[in-house]
Amino acid sequence: MNVNQSAPPVPPYGQPQPVYPGYHQSSYGGQPGSTAPPNTYGVYNGPVPGYQQTPPPGVSRAPPSSGVPPASTAQVPCGQGAYGQFGQGDVQNGPSSTVQMQRLPGSQPFGSAPLAPVVSQPAVLQPYGPPPTSAQVTAQLAGMQISGSVTPAPPPSGLGYGPPASLAPASGSFPNAGLYGSCPQGQAPPLSQAQGHSGAQPPQRSAPQQASSFTPQASGGPRMPSMTGPLLPGQSFGGPPVNQPNHVSSPPPPQAPHPGTQMAGPPGPPPPMHSSQQQGYQLQQNGSFGPARGPQPNYGSPYPGAPAFGSQPGPPQSLPPKRLDPDAIPSPQLNELPPQQKTRHRIDPDAIPSPIQVIEDDRNNRGSEPFVTGVRGQVPPLVTTNFLVKDQGNASPRYIRCTSYNIPCTSDMAKQAQVPLAAVIKPLARLPPEEASPYLVDHGESGPLRCNRCKAYMCPFMQFVEGGRRFQCCFCSCINDVPPQYFQHLDHTGKRVDAYDRPELSLGSYEFLATVDYCKNNKFPSPPAFIFMIDVSYNAIRSGLVRLLCEELKSLLDFLPREGGAEESAIRVGFVTYNKVLHFYNVKSSLAQPQMMVVSDVADMFVPLLDGFLVNVNESRAVIISLLDQIPEMFADTRETETVFAPVIQAGMEALKTLFQPQTGAYQALAKECVAQGCCVDLFLFPNQYVDVATLSVVPQLTGGSVYKYTCFQVENDQERFMSDLRRDVEKVVGFDAVMRVRTSTGIRAVDFFGAFYMSNTTDVELAGLDGEKTVTVEFKHDDRLNEESGALLQCALLYTSCAGQRRLRIHNLALNCCTQLADLYRNCETDTLINYMAKFAYRGVLNSPVKTVRDTLITQCAQILACYRKNCASPSSAGQLILPECMKLLPVYLNCVLKSDVLQPGAEVTTDDRAYVRQLVTSMDVAETNVFFYPRLLPLTKSPIESTTEPPAIRASEERLSNGDIYLLENGLNLFIWVGAGVQQGVVQSLFSVSSFSQITSGVSILPVLDNPLSKKVRGLIDSLRAQRSRYMKLIVVKQEDKLEMLFKHFLVEDKSLSGGASYVDFLCHMHKEIRQLLS
């Protein structure tokens, strides 16, 4: 499985950072890096020298009838950091005491890295004041901050954001810090990981055709021609109309949109750059799209007439959409720029679409009303909005989200638009307490009613005919007889009179109790089992991991998943320990002490006992407790460092299967066998060196299990994270031995699937285990023409065994609109789901193609989507303008985050294991998790009032938004950082860290002291609530400004240039614009 490809050339928009004199870059694994920036794509060098295959332990989880193994722990030797640990090395990262550090510009020209460092203007934060005069608005829209009298504010003291007089080398050593964890100095770094939910999201609306437009320029290039002629003296640009929230500037109104119209006519010269009276805006705190902006969310001082960017627009406006003229983007004044920058045209980051503003607007506009699913093809609120769902015939967006809710009628139209048609399905999604779980319908021995031809299940879209005696299938149009026991009369509208009494006729999601025909070998399954397989090799014993795990398991066994109101769990448990041999334990309730049996021939795996291996926890509690007390003592003096891996899973599967078969050898074949027996494997890795995660994760990946990774595990630092992950893993509700099929109405079909599962044919997704966090992503293609009137239907059917051993069918139905106009497609897209699909598509692509090819494919597809919109849906306008569809205006910023991710553009410090780990994590993520993973949330902790109980409003993920007098919290679902500015008030430092000054704060610490003051309680409460939202425990890392760990924190400021060569948001937008123009010309 090739995870790291050879190094292709740097992409045109990804510039390496300028190399500062004396700036020695460490490659966080402990080896010194070269002075030149790392190549954009890491070369795969194979395993590190001296690599031993040190397999880890696994949790095997089983289906009913088959039984199951869960959590196991494995520990391996220390060396390369895991996702992400870094070894020690020297990095010059902070300024020396006398010279300010020079800040990298947020935007650099494509194609050339500046030789001399370029200094950008300090960002001046301006509080909201009175509404602007029309003169101010027009001046800003003319593209420059125009008054000659404005002087830049001095940079805040202690921050190297302003232009320095000179740049001196600084020195400092880099402590162990990892992209995803950190360790105390002098020790190997432990890994911290957690999986994500909810975050920044874009809008998708059904609305009059709208577009966001602005004019980025590739810095330093020629100015783009304008549609309008030169402005006469005294003439000004008009401000943006308040009722057109998506345009930032306005040249003379163009004609109404003509699909397919292209630019014609000679362009005039660019607008004038100077005016003596008017003054432009300064940067504002929370950049949004356009100058006439709403208030910074939750920061008071309302701003009259603010446009609402994410809102569901009202009826079509009479005014034609207005466009931003070439260069009409606020920029620093020429006379304010330092000499190196006077020739460049810098785009104001506040004038380009802001994820934060879009998320805030959607929350304000759609968070208060319940989302009622009765209407076909409705675009749901964003995943970042808290909303209630009322099921009235279509599945909740918590179960299914689509890339578009209005799909093209023909394949030609779909090819033209290039918008992927996909659904992200989360069949067992957990619902908030206010929403009811799907109803369980029992049709007795006859089982659920289905279409005779296509086997689709009864749903609200089936049409009853002939007085209710027959029904027409909505998927294949076959006419079927209604069984006598299911017959009911129809009302005057043709609906059954009992429609609202039957969940399958009135709801989008429901469950059927399956009959024996739906069970393996026509036998009802027995309850599932968990087998805990524990690594007892030298490293696991020495680190304290085995003792910790055995103590935790004593209490954990009371929290096994149970059905509804059941008093105790039906799940049985078994225990195996292993190093280079396997030890099975008989814990039968009648025994006084547990008995051990050893299997030393791992090449010929079998289970030495059947009776007494899998037991009920309550019946055998005393014997289990005795065993867990004895295991750490039994192996306390072990010197065995070698461990086996495949035979461990093999043994777990054999125990569940209770049949002897020879060892299969390859992981692929082993995984296939596990799926056939309904055995799901969860794997907990504790590597201290390279362990080949890509290979070890094959079995969990194909069986629907999870992988958890704790690099250089240390009990004192990582105990809480491991315990929390293990607890959640054991407690979560799981469907066992599952098969999922997606049916569609005539015209489209499912062609591709992404996720953690196995497929033995082209239609059935087989999952040995499926929990409430896992998703399956399905892509659809046309195989016939669709009908605008009837729309398109999806039905997802999941056959699974519940925790109590009951065989069930869960059904989700969704109806989509179909369109013959491209404008309708672009109006009903969901950018977050699109990014989720594109990331999974790309992450699978790197296994078989060079990374550069995968990246170029993503960029080309995005450019084609936006160019098709520009050509066919937008009003004619200057080629110098970038025009984005309203509900896709965040596509460039989110796509750039995917392109800069560790899998597609790893820095020197990202190991092969790290990439493989992240790749398999993202494969099963839902839309909320990928949203916050690719665009992390950055929350100011000290800006909102201490007494406020709500979460502080997020700000954009860019260094320009940080103030050295504040403290910020950043989370992406796997990592949690607190960044402390050097100028934070002493009282705040005392309240939060219990030390008297900034210099006394320990960088890299992962626990905040428990202090009895409002600020400490608020911050700790916020951290707890964020952790509760995510499926994995997020380990905290405290980072001080200008400390060595700050580079790690800045890796997550995704709107800025990345050290591994990724473009800034502004630069990538310019690059996308260039690509679109090339396609259009």
Pairing status of strand 422-425 against strand 440-441: unpaired
- The pLDDT > 70 percentage for the chain reads 66
Confidence band of 655 (pLDDT split at 50, 70, 90): low
Query: What one-character-per-residue DSSP string does 578-603 give?
Result: ESSSEEEEE--TT-SS-EEEEE--TT
pLDDT at residue 976 in the model:
96
Decide which of 264 and 1057 is more confident. 1057
At 214, the pLDDT band (50, 70, 90 cuts) reads: low
pLDDT of residue 1032: 95
**pLDDT given at position 346:** 67
**Residue 714 confidence (pLDDT) above 60:** yes
pLDDT at position 230 is 40
Q: Is 477 left (phi over 0), alpha (psi -120 to 50) or beta?
A: left
* The pLDDT value given to residue 695: 86
pLDDT at 991 (0 to 100): 94
Q: At what angle do helices 851-872 and 891-899 cross, to 10 degrees?
A: 170
Q: Which residues of 696-709 are buried (b: 16+ CB within 10 A; e: fewer)?
A: bbbbbbbbbbbbbb
CA distance 834 to 829: 8
For the purposes of burial, counting CB atoms within 10 Å of the CB of 497, is it exposed (0-12), middle (13-18) or buried (19 or more)? exposed
Res 834: pLDDT: 97
Q: 793 versus 272: which is more confidently predicted? A: 793
Q: How many helices (H) and strands (E) does the chain have?
A: 22, 36
Q: State how far the Cα of 638 lies from the Cα of 151, in Å rounded to an integer.
A: 71
The model's pLDDT over 364-403, given as tens digits with 9 standing for 90+, comes to 999 999 999 999 999 999 999 999 999 999 999 999 999 9
Q: Which residue has the higher pLDDT, 298 or 399?
A: 399
**Mean pLDDT, rounded, for 134-151:** 34
Report strand pairing: 1035-1040 vs 975-980. parallel
pLDDT mean over 541-553 = 93
Percent of all residues in the chain with a pLDDT value above 90, rounded to a whole number: 53
Spatial strand order of the sheet with 479-481 comes to 463-465, 470-472, 479-481
pLDDT at 292 over 50: no
pLDDT at 213: 61
What integer is the mean pLDDT of 210-218?
54
How sure is the predictor about 790, in pLDDT bands with cuts at 50, 70 and 90? very high
Residue at 843: amino acid letter: Y
Mean pLDDT score, 1070-1077 = 95
Lowest mean per-residue pLDDT among 222-236, 640-654, 824-838, 879-893: 222-236
Report, as an integer, the average pLDDT of 538-557.
92
Q: Say yes or no to pLDDT of 684 above 70.
A: yes
The mean pLDDT value for 265-280 works out to: 40
* Cα(477)–Cα(746) distance, integer angstroms: 9
For residue 76, pLDDT over 70 is answered with no
Residue 302 has pLDDT above 50, yes or no: no
- What is the tens place of the pLDDT at every residue in 840-861? 999 999 988 899 999 999 999 9
Judged against a pLDDT cut of 60, whether residue 459 lies above it is answered with yes
What is the token pair recorded at 359? Answer: 């998320």
How many Cα atoms are found within 13 Å in the side-chain-facing hemisphere of 351? 31
For residue 606, what pLDDT band results from cuts at 50, 70 and 90? confident
pLDDT, greater one: 273 or 493: 493
Average pLDDT, the chain: 75
Query: Which pLDDT band holds residue 690 (cuts at 50, 70, 90)?
Result: confident
Contacts 24+ apart (CB under 8 A), 185-188: 185/88, 187/712, 187/714, 188/78, 188/79, 188/81, 188/85, 188/87, 188/688, 188/711, 188/712
What pLDDT was estimated at residue 810? 97
Return the bridge partners of 572, or none: 529
Residue 162 has pLDDT above 80, yes or no: no
**Residue 107: pLDDT above 60?**
no
Q: What tens digit of pLDDT does each residue of 744-756 get?
A: 999 999 999 999 9
- Span 898-957, pLDDT tens digits: 999 999 988 778 888 899 999 999 999 999 999 999 999 999 998 888 888 888 999 999
Reported as a pLDDT band with limits 50, 70 and 90, residue 212 is low
pLDDT at 948: 81
Judged against a pLDDT cut of 60, whether residue 217 lies above it is answered with: no
Q: What pTM does this model have?
A: 0.71
The least confident of 200-209, 345-354, 448-457, 902-911 is 200-209
Give the pLDDT band (50/70/90) at residue 628.
very high
Go through 66-76 and write b for each residue having 16 or more CB atoms within 10 A of its CB, e for each that does not: bbbbbbbbbbb
Mean pLDDT of 656-676: 63
- Report the SS3 class of residue 413: helix
Instruction: Pick the more confident residue, 229 or 639.
Output: 639
- Decide if pLDDT at 204 tops 50: no
Burial (CB count <10 Å: 0-12, 13-18, 19+), residue 857: middle
Instruction: Please give the pLDDT value at position 63.
Output: 47
Q: What is the four-CA torsion angle of 667, 672, 673, 679, rounded to 10 degrees?
A: 100
pLDDT over threshold 90, residue 6: no
pLDDT at 670: 87
pLDDT of amino acid 858: 96
Is 487 within 8 Å of 465 (Cβ atoms)?
A: no
Q: Which of the residue ranges 429-443, 606-620, 979-993 would you say has the lowest mean pLDDT?
A: 606-620
Residue 39, pLDDT > 90, answer no
Count of positions (residues) in the chain:
1081
- Give the number of other CB atoms < 10 A from CB of residue 462: 20
For 951-999, how does the pLDDT look when each residue is reduced to its tens digit (9 = 90+)? 899 999 999 999 999 999 999 999 999 999 999 999 999 999 999 999 9
Quote the tokens at residue 475.
């998927």
638-652, 960-974, 1055-1069 — which is least confidently predicted?
A: 638-652
Confidence of residue 274 (pLDDT cuts 50, 70, 90): very low
pLDDT of residue 261: 32
Asked if pLDDT for residue 1024 goes beyond 60, the answer is: yes
Q: Higher confidence at residue 562 or residue 194?
A: 562
Helices 927-934 and 891-899, axial angle in degrees (round to 10): 80
